[in-house]
Amino acid sequence: EPEVTQTPSHQVTQMGQEVILRCVPISNHLYFYWYRQILGQKVEFLVSFYNNEISEKSEIFDDQFSVERPDGSNFTLKIRSTKLEDSAMYFCASSDELAGVTDTQYFGPGTRLTVL
């Protein structure tokens, strides 16, 4: 069964550094999402992406964040200048149709980002 994959599984970085988290969604999916989960807290929506542009974003997704689909398979989340509070598990998800109405989101295993 196809799965969403994410790399790396764990990323350690220094505060102020840029990081890129990578995701490979399921191949025929059209909608892509990023979420984060700070340790011990809820899963928080960051952004959804469709047709090569952001369709929705949350208040968390400020100018420090950007997403890109550089080729036909990868979907990346970039944090330009990491802060300590960016330390979290970051989940990628993809869906075939508008999630919820006709299809579900499939989640990746997550990337644990640690900012020192």
Partner 1 sequence: AQRVTQPEKLLSVFKGAPVELKCNYSYSGSPELFWYVQYSRQRLQLLLRHISRESIKGFTADLNKGETSFHLKKPFAQEEDSAMYYCALLYNFNKFYFGSGTKLNVKP
Q: Whole-angstrom Cα distance, residue 88 to residue 62?
A: 16
Site membership for partner 1, residue 91 (CB under 8 A):
yes
Site membership for partner 1, residue 104 (CB under 8 A):
yes
Site membership for partner 1, residue 105 (CB under 8 A):
yes
In this complex, which beta carbon is closest to partner 1, that of residue 87 or of residue 105?
Answer: 105
- Tell me how far, at minimum, the Cβ of 43 lies from partner 1, in Å: 4
Alpha helices by DSSP H, listed for 1-116, are none
Site membership for partner 1, residue 85 (CB under 8 A):
no
Q: Whole-angstrom Cα distance, residue 89 to residue 11?
A: 10
- Count of positions on this chain that bind partner 1 (CB under 8 A): 26
In this complex, which beta carbon is closest to partner 1, that of residue 14 or of residue 42?
Answer: 42
Residue of 5, 3, 4, 9 whose CA lies nearest to 89: 9
- For residue 58, give every residue at least 6 positions away whose Cβ sits within 8 Å of its Cβ, in sequence order, or none: 44, 45, 46, 47
- Chain positions contacting partner 1, by CB under 8 A: 4, 31, 33, 35, 41-45, 48, 50, 55-56, 58, 91, 98-101, 104-110
